[in-house]
Each structure stands twice: as C-alpha cells, then as structure tokens.
Amino acid sequence: MRRLNLPNAVFVDNSASVEVASKYLELLEDGVSVVTPNKLAASGGYDYFVSLKNVARKKGVSFLYETNVGAALPVIGTLRDLVNSGDKVLRIEGVLSGTLSYIFNSFDGRVGFSEVVKEAKLKGFTEPDPRDDLNCSDVARKILILARECGYGLEYGDVVVNQFLPMACLEAESVEEFWVRLKSFDGYFEDMRSKAVSGGGVLRCVARFEGGRAVVGLEVVSKEHSFYGLSGSDNVIAFTTSRYKERPLVIKGSGAGGEVTASGVFADIIKAANYL
C-alpha cells in the first residue's frame, strides 16, 4: 500500500460523502490528522469509529469532529472533558437540528404546518427533500455520536426514532407528492400544536440519551423547561451528570449554517495543529 509522507498534515473533509469518510483510517495510519463536520464516520459502524480513535492515538495525531453536533457550539469537547475527568453522564437532552428547531419555533398557528415547512425550505434551512430533515435521521446520528462519547457502543440502528411525520408523507414517491400529502395533514399538526399550547407547552423535536438508550421524537415541552424559550434555528443541549445533577450544564446557540460550521472546523484545525 502506498504510504503518504506528509508530516504535520491535517486532512479536512467538508463533504457529506461516505466514500471520503471511508478513507480516514488510511489517512490516520499515514500520520495525517483528520478534521471533519461530516458525521458519517462518527455515526457509522462502531468498530470503524473506534479504530479511527485508536489509530489516531497510536500515531499521535488528531481525529476531530466537534462540528458533527451543534456546529461550532462546544458540545463534544465539553462532553469529553466531563467524561475524561470522571463525571458520570446521567442524561443528555437536546434540540439538535437547526432545521427542526426553526420549524417548530415558527409553528405558532398563524399558518399551517406545511406552510411553515415550505417557508423553511425557501429560506434554505431544509434539504432539497425536506423529509431528510423531518425524518430525524440527522438528529439520530447526532445523539448516537454523543452516546458514543459517553462510552456506549451503540449502532445507528439502536437509536429509537418516534417518527412524527405520517407514513403517507414519509412514503410519498416524489417531493411534489410529499407536499400535497403534507398539506392534507395540516389539521393533524394543528391539533397537536393547539393541544400542547392549551396545556402551557410547545412542540419540540427532542433527542434524549439516558440509561443506555437513545430516543428521538416530538415532545411537548413545558414553560419551566429550558427548551421552551428557544428561537430561530438555535440548538440547545443539556447535560445532566453526577456533578451537574440538580440543574444541567446547558449550551445554546446557532447550531447550523456555513459560517458557524466553518468556524468550528477552523477551531478543530488549530487544535490538531497545536497537538502536532
């Protein structure tokens, strides 16, 4: 096998490609650090992920992916500091999708749910097919990554996703057909919303990790909860641990978008370079 001879090099993968992610092991074995916002390695097969960490350690280089969760928000580094310093993570709760955060923060009853999603798409917040956001697969990958940082060898398939999108919408054969079907469920979503509001709550797509189980789904969040007052496309993550037991350690802020993601990638590159 051809060996690279690039001392002190850092490979930055800004793609979302599984093919590129499959090259990390070779790169790390060649002594090249890897920095990436691409979630596919950290949320792919657990064995591959662990081998990346082990090879990086053995070679004295870095494998950094802070931007996999919450873009530049200090989520993974903070969790790692907690775990490394001997804290025990009791519960992780988060609103981990900027897109879903924006959609449910904007869904206030003035227009139907399908209109809110359409608006989010027009503003560039969603994937070309909004179901790629609404099916929570992205959120499932993120909570999986956090579970693994806590030392749990979970696989993607172990994450329970309580789909809030009706099957008819999920299974529509085209995006056009999806929009038609989503509109027909406006009443369904409005019922959910008004029921939540009349109980003093709001709808939020929450990811949880507790007792070794990762679950993602739509929840009614009450006024007392720190996820109630979320706005825009903000992410929020709350760590309840042995040391932050009565009240969690909370990190909140913009968790999506090119600018903050680039800034987080850059911070990781600096860390990789400092480590070399």
Name the residue nearer to its own copies (CB basis): 77 or 217: 77
Tokens 């691409």 -> residue = 38
Q: How does strand 234-241 pair with strand 89-95?
A: antiparallel
Amino acid at 66: E
CB of 231 to its own copies, least distance (A): 6
Of 142, 183, 252, 271, the active-site residue reads: 142
Q: Is the Cβ–Cβ distance between 270 and 125 less than 8 Å?
A: no
Q: Residue 87 class from Cβ within 10 Å (0-12 exposed, 13-18 middle, 19+ buried)?
A: middle
Name the residue nearer to its own copies (CB basis): 3 or 223: 223
Residues in the site for its own copies, rule: CB under 8 A? 72-74, 77-78, 81-82, 84-87, 226, 229, 231-232, 234, 243-244, 246-254, 259-260, 263-264, 266-267, 270, 274-275
Tokens 């310093």 -> residue = 85
Q: Is 183 among the catalytic positions? A: no
Name the residue nearer to its own copies (CB basis): 131 or 252: 252
Tokens 């189980």 -> residue = 213
Give the separation between CA 72 and CA 231, rounded to whole angstroms.
18
Name the residue nearer to its own copies (CB basis): 84 or 174: 84
Question: Going by C-beta distance under 8 Å and a sequence separation of 6 or more, which residues neighbour residue 1?
Answer: 26
Half-sphere exposure (CA, 13 Å, Cβ side) for 30? 17
CB of 117 to its own copies, least distance (A): 21
CB of 5 to its own copies, least distance (A): 24
Name the residue nearer to its own copies (CB basis): 44 or 98: 98
Extract the tokens encoding 182: 């989503």
Give the separation between CA 170 and CA 135, rounded to whole angstroms.
7
As annotated, the active-site residues are 142
